[in-house]
């Protein structure tokens, strides 16, 4: 093993963890935008919550997207991690 090898020096683990966290955050943001485009969370004018209701819809949608990602997501985060770390394994 080379003394500058990222695996032997322990640098690879924190770097990959940071990449994974960023990839998961990006996947959640992507899912939130897709849910927004699909109309999820739009008021149905049944309760008439006014401006307060519309302002908080994005928070609900963001949390739903984060939960979707945490439950496995759509695989976008894993593909980003593989791409950025150079891994090809499954």
DSSP per residue, the chain = --TT-HHHHT-HHHHHHHHHHHHHHHHHHHHHHHHHHTTTT---SSS--HHHHHHHHHHHHHHHHHHHHHTTTTSHHHHHHHHHHT----
What is the pTM for the complete model shown?
Answer: 0.73
Q: What is the pLDDT along the chain (90 residues), one digit of tens a residue?
A: 455 555 555 666 888 899 999 999 999 999 999 999 998 766 666 666 677 777 788 898 999 999 999 999 999 999 999 999 887 665
pLDDT value of position 1: 46
């Amino acid at each position: 093993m080379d003394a500058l090898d990222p695996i032997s020096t322990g640098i690879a683990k924190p770097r990959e963890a940071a990449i994974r966290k960023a990839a998961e955050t990006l996947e959640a943001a992507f899912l939130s935008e897709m849910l927004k485009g699909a109309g999820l969370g739009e008021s149905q004018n049944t309760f008439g919550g006014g401006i307060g209701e519309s302002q908080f819809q994005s928070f609900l949608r963001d949390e739903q997207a984060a939960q979707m990602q945490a439950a496995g997501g759509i695989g976008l985060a894993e593909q980003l991690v593989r791409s950025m770390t150079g891994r090809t394994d499954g």
